[in-house]
Amino acid sequence: MPNALPNATMTKFGYPATLIGETGHWSVLLRQQQVTLGALVLVCRDEAGAFGALSPAAFTDLHAAVSRIEPILRDFVSYEKINYLMLMMVDPDVHFHVIPRYQGKRTHLDQVFPDAGWPGPPALGQAVEPEEAVRESLLRRLRGAWDAASA
């Protein structure tokens, strides 16, 4: 059963300010450090500290979240690949870092977002901190796309 309150991982990644959208069990947040343009955090609201401990309903609902995330990011970023990283070494709640991958760079409001790790693993240590206006624009655009995908 999803928790009504934000968990520690959601709070660490800026909830509620970074919230893009939610499904029954999952919250989609804009990642403050943009490894690539459009990087997100997909956090389960179930009380579970291991992927295998999620409820069957959360596993089913993961499909609903992913099937909305991917077309939104494909339209916005034109990614070539998408990576879902479940590291869970620091943050206790089940979550994925969603990293759209592309060769070269993407630009949003004149701020450049390179994929420094392409074609290898994402270069997590070379993430870009969006300027405030860029972050707000990303949130508006991705929230609008999330809302449109549910209609």
Which pLDDT does position 150 carry in this prediction? Answer: 83
pLDDT(151) > 70:
no
Lay out the sheet containing 40-44: strands in order across: 19-22, 26-30, 40-44, 95-101, 81-85
In angstroms, the CA 100 to CA 15 distance is 21
Quick: pLDDT tens for 1-34: 777 789 999 999 999 999 999 999 999 999 999 9
pLDDT(131) > 70:
yes
Looking at per-residue pLDDT, the higher value among 38 and 49 belongs to: 38
Closest CA to 99 of 140, 43, 42: 42
Quick: pLDDT tens for 77-128: 999 999 999 998 898 899 999 999 999 999 999 999 999 999 999 999 999 9
User: Does the global pTM surpass 0.85?
Assistant: yes
Which pLDDT does position 118 carry in this prediction? Answer: 98
Q: Residues 8-150: name the CATH superfamily.
A: HIT-like (3.30.428.10)
